[in-house]
Amino acid sequence: MILQIMAARAMASRGRLADAGGLRGTGRRSGSVTERNFATISGRSWGFFLGGLAEPFLYLFSVGYGLGARIGFVPLSDGHLVTYAAFVAPAMLAASAMNATFAAIATRFFGLHRFVRLYDTVIATPVRPIEIALGEIAWSVLCGAVYSTSFVTLMVLMDLTTWPRALLALPASLLIGAAFGGAGVIIATFMRGWPDFSLVYLAQFVLFLLSGTFVPPQHYPVVIQWLMYASPLYQSINLLRAITLGTGNPANWLVSLAYLAVFGVVGIAIAARRVNRMLYV
């Protein structure tokens, strides 16, 4: 609690020094929210962080290599054949980027608002609701960057992609994290209690299974395929698969990039309105 109060006071001090308006002032005030999160990291937080870091590695080894030893090669939509591990790896990278922001930021935001009441203190400073949302999303994206960096490094070491492609995959994974961040904040503003998050985890798991993660979309019924194409996680996986494997039509990359950019911008805009209503009503 003492750390929370000290961090809030530091945030207030930084906020008063920030510009009253403009992108520069917004960036500085959002940065103070992110800095507060870094200042309050505890040993328990590192435990959760390392747990999230291990999950995609376990999936890659158990499913990508364990099940992949029996499956062999997988045909992509453009006819290329790749090993099952190479097929699954970019999906794990996309899912990791999603998990680092979507459910993680939802639970964090809900806890800090409902039980710690941190944001009630923050709005007494020049920090605005949209800057709270941006600061929390930026923090989650930074955590996701650590996940993504470690995972793409493993992909290169295991010959599942190359260094140039891995370097392109990193900013793409950050875009994915930012795109899901707004949705996570929106979800948090609708939660009435911790039991409600069971529905969030269920929806996230269904999204994880039905986004072409483990099976190519063409193996599903047509109706399911169209639902998959509309999924933000599918578009994320499609983008990272094209980058890390060097396959696919470049036009598809642009479609996925545009989809994620629009999804993120709209999500952040709605999140800002929801946070404003949550804190001022």
- The more confident residue out of 169 and 76 is 169
Domain that holds residue 265: 2-280
Give the residue-averaged pLDDT of 21-28: 75
Overall average pLDDT of the 149-160 stretch: 88
pLDDT (tens digit per residue) in 174-183: 999 999 999 9
pLDDT at residue 43 greater than cutoff 80 = no
pLDDT range class, residue 124, cuts 50, 70, 90 = confident
pLDDT at 1: 45
Please state the domain count of the chain.
1
- Region 215-220: mean pLDDT is 87
What pLDDT shows up at residue 165? Answer: 93
Nearest alpha-carbon partner for 52 in 146, 134, 139, 136:
146
* Whether the predicted model's global pTM rises above the 0.95 cut: no
Rounded average pLDDT over 107-118: 88
Q: Average of pLDDT values for 81-105?
A: 88
